Structure 1
Amino acid sequence: MPHGRHAVSTYDSTSSTSVTALVTTRLKRMQYRPSLIDGFITKTRLDFSLP
């Protein structure tokens, strides 16, 4: 299984279970890095404020 920045995009397998496990692991890691999520929101310029 590839590691690194583009691991999910370069993963070449027929096993969707492996891909699901990889994505789940990465999302769980992101959960503990709020600055990373804030950076995504800032970069996309999405407005999450309630009307």
Structure 2
Amino acid sequence: QREWLTVVLLPGYAPELNPVEGMWAHIKRSLANLAARTLSNLATLLHRRLKALQYRRAILDGFLAGTGLTLDRPD
């Protein structure tokens, strides 16, 4: 137990509460019409798209907002 730590119990399977699900949906939509020649080409493209997302704070915040969760401590 730590004063700075708050544990929130979530259901065992709840993709709607996982911001990463929104991020992957966003990435998959951007790849909808892609026909990569090799797995290496696909991996390179994914790496670039994920790296670009890293600098788009508003989109990342939107993935969290889409879950209805916050980073604030519960009262």
Selected match of 1:26 from 37, 41, 49 = 49
- Provide the rounded CA distance (Å) in 1 between the counterparts of 2:39 and 2:33: 14
Number of residue-to-residue matches in the alignment: 45
* CA-atom RMSD in angstroms: 2.3
Q: Which has the larger radius of gyration?
A: 2
Unaligned 5+ runs, structure 1: 1-5
TM-score, normalised via structure 1 length: 0.62
Unaligned 5+ runs, structure 2: 1-28
User: Could you tell me the percent identity over the aligned residues?
Assistant: 27
Runs of 4+ aligned residues of structure 1 deviating over 6 Å after TM superposition are none
TM-score, normalised via structure 2 length: 0.46
Task: State the AA in 2 paired with 1:39.
Answer: G
Asked if residue 44 in structure 1 is aligned to residue 67 in structure 2, the reply is yes
Asked if residue 16 in structure 1 is aligned to residue 39 in structure 2, the reply is yes
